[in-house]
Amino acid sequence: MASERREVSEEAEANLDANALSVVVERLRRVHAVDFAGHKQLLLRAQIAARMATRSLSSTHDYVELMEASPAERAALLRGLLIGSTSFFRDPDVFAAIRAQVLPRIVDPNHRAALRVWVPGCSTGEEAYSLAMLLLEYLEADGEARPLRVFASDVHDVALAHARRGVYSASVMAGLAEHRRERFFSANADGSFVVKRRLRDVVLFARHDLLVTPPYAHIDLVSCRNLLIYLEPHAQRLGLSRLHYALNGRGVLVLGAAESVLHGEAMFSALGGPHRLYVKKHLRVLPRTVFMGADDRS
């Protein structure tokens, strides 16, 4: 059965012409206000082909008709395109590097303004809550009573609703250290866990599209892991220009292990070490793409 589905998926991907792809992308933009124009076509084609295989369709025309008529199918496709793998303190070495290299840089005892963190593409919230926990622990250990705000954004309304509820299953919580689970979460009768108010009050979830919506500002730390990897080079440049604008003078950008600032190397330099940590370069002229939407590119 698995081999048959794979063969159907491969046939569907081969038959997915550019016109059908543009119809699907436009429909998702109009109905769900999610713009995939800057996303890698190869990944879009693969996900659409997977949905065609699931529905046992080899005709592009038939899938477009189904997607147009079925809200459930559009939701399933959107979920496959947007919700990636995530967990609390995913890649612990990265969080250790943030703790050792980034937090001493951005937590300046002579500067008492609120700390501001941004997590674009926050999905179901684990990354944002993890950074909030790390910062609360760090500030407490240093005796700092500084205000903290973590802005967590995504374009997928279902994922954002999950993140705002802050309820996670026992299996999702299994990898979280016990002392953090006890301090920041309460156990429910059904075995799930819910974020306590102290943590929830720190994180603000909002709908925001990195390629369309003007960026946040005065940010000390941006964690944008495994979002740029899905974008075409021109969209990566646009995204990086907006992240550059968002960061303050000593701000730090964290990218995923398979990502880099290749398409924005004039804007960032490596902080040092094996992880994808970057500091903002100061530019005399801001990239004009900062406030441009994805459809405004020349």
Q: Quick check: 4 pLDDT over 80?
A: no
| Residue-level pLDDT at 36 | 85
The answer to whether 216 and 145 have CB atoms below 8 angstroms apart is no
3-state SS string for 163-193: HHHCEECHHHHCCCCHHHHHHHEEECCCCCE
Whether 169 maps to a domain, the answer reads yes
pLDDT at 210: 94
pLDDT for residue 22: 84
pLDDT, position 82:
81
pLDDT band for 9, please (50, 70, 90 cuts).
very low
- Note whether 20 and 167 are same-domain residues: no
Say if residue 147 is in the same domain as residue 172: yes
Select, from the ranges 12-16, 139-143, 196-200, the one with the highest average predicted confidence (pLDDT): 196-200
> What does the pLDDT look like over 16-55, one tens digit per residue?
677 788 888 888 888 888 888 888 888 888 888 888 889 8
Residue 87 lies in a domain: no
Provide the number of structural domains found in the chain.
Answer: 2
When pLDDT is cut at 50, 70 and 90, the band that residue 5 belongs to is very low
Mean pLDDT of 237-254: 94
- Under the banding of pLDDT at 50, 70 and 90, the label for residue 295 is very low
| H/E segment holding residue 116 | strand 115-120
The enclosing domain of 215 has a CATH number of 3.40.50.150
Greater confidence (146 vs 247) lies with: 247
Domain that holds residue 64: 2-82
- Determine the pLDDT at residue 293: 44
End position of a domain, from candidates 51, 82, 113? 82
pTM: predicted TM-score of the whole model, two decimal places: 0.85
Range of 5-14, 38-47, 78-87 with top mean pLDDT: 38-47
Residue that is last in its domain, among 82, 103, 129: 82
Query: Is residue 259 included in any domain, yes or no?
Result: yes
> Could you tell me which residue, 264 or 153, shows the higher pLDDT?
153
- Confidence band of 113 (pLDDT split at 50, 70, 90): confident
Based on the fold, state whether residues 134 and 186 are members of the same structural domain.
yes
**Between residues 21 and 127, the one the model is more confident about:** 127
pLDDT value, residue 134: 97
**54 and 189 share one domain:** no
Residue 32 and residue 107 in one domain = no
